[in-house]
A and B are shown apart, each in its own frame.
Chain A
């Protein structure tokens, strides 16, 4: 357990706590992606490159992308060209 591993684990814990408490959903997805990136680096330090490649490809890539597709589908991320609706308190994460 050297000093680099301790710093990375601290960043991991901070990321995990921040994901739950942050209000904007888009920022939450970005922090989730950075969590996945730090986990991929930790897998490399623990000498398992198979897991590092898989975590980088799936966690930081495809999972973040699918989260964005979901947010678009529920109306949390709006296009620039769509007509603006009135302030709808029902849509989650509307205060982008």
Chain B
């Protein structure tokens, strides 16, 4: 773009915008046109009225034992697809770690070389005396904030002594975590399940880490424990439901009794799989936030 003079740049920008608008309108028109082609709500072609759906609705409760029928579908009849979704969450965490993880300051050779080089240059010109590896002291010069524009640096001051936030978090965080655990454990009885309960528990973790500081949260959930929790949950799910790789669509009995529908210890493997999915989602939400804010979990 550096080769064009300003008048040509203006014409190019306008051409880009008009082309983008035309393409979007064409895409919207194509999608709306296809929507009119789908079968209506009460026609015999409707995909909700074939024999598979009838079988699910008629014998769902006896075969899965879950009163919440959606949980019975996604964790018993189609458990293999939910396994794929949990793997997608795991892969997303790994990708975000690759982009945002900052190496440990004392051990990384590249960082030591860079701070040595910057130290020798800065000591001649400015009065900055702190090195870049000390993150507790407040820097006073503008040069320190200019260095932070490097995208892999850790933010220095992440603890704010905000009284309102701390007081409300002291009351709210236990209730949020308890509600999240309730939603996970009652996934087969009432609406909710692993994904929504895990998102609620993850939000509780985020609020706790913003209000009380990341160092206190690290005693509970640091990189090693989050990794172990995620890995063990996915391993349990894999051992339970990945026989579909070998047997195709045939179902293997798990041996856990189904119990009476409506009790909390019922529906076989669904409770265990809900707990696994809840762990994975909660750790994923918290790791995303922590990686964005300070470069490590």
Contact = CB atoms under 8 A, between A and B. Distances in A.
Interface stretch (B53-61, B109-117, B198-206): B198-206
B193 A62 contact: no
Interface in B35-91: 68, 70-71
B276 interface: no
B182 to A, nearest CB: 12
Nearest to B200: A57
B254 to A, nearest CB: 23
A87 to B, nearest CB: 15
Contacts of A52: 191
B280 interface: no
B288 A57 contact: no
A73 B292 contact: yes
Given A50-B70, A66-B288, A83-B142, A57 B203 contact: yes
Contact of B289 (A53, A66, A75, A83): A66
A65 B289 CA distance: 8
B166 interface: no
B292 A69 contact: yes
Interface string A33-73: 00000000000000011101110011001100110011011
B145 A83 contact: yes
B192 A50 contact: yes
Which one of B149, B196, B293 has the highest number of Cβ atoms from chain A below 10 Å of its Cβ?
A: B196
Nearest to A58: B199
Given A62-B206, A75-B149, A50 B191 contact: yes
Determine the interface band of chain A, counting residues with CB < 8 A from chain B: 20 to 34
Contacts of B70: 48, 50
B185 interface: no
B297 interface: no
B183 interface: yes
Contacts of B142: 83, 85
A8 B33 CA distance: 23
A82 to B, nearest CB: 6
A78 B191 CA distance: 40
Interface in B96-153: 142, 145, 149, 151
Interface string B197-230: 0011011001000000000000000000000000
Contacts, number: 51
B203 A82 contact: no
B195 interface: yes
Contacts of A75: 149
B196 A57 contact: yes
B285 interface: yes
Contacts of A48: 70
A65 B206 contact: yes
A25 B122 CA distance: 35
Contacts of B200: 57
B292 A57 contact: no
A70 B288 CA distance: 11
Contacts of A69: 289, 292-293
Nearest to A57: B199
A62 B183 contact: no
Nearest to B74: A50
Interface of A: 48-50, 52-54, 57-58, 61-62, 65-66, 69-70, 72-73, 75, 82-83, 85
Closest 7 CB pairs of A and B: A49-B191, A57-B199, A69-B292, A54-B196, A53-B196, A50-B191, A58-B199
Interface of B: 68, 70-71, 142, 145, 149, 151, 183, 191-193, 195-196, 199-200, 202-203, 206, 285, 288-289, 292-293
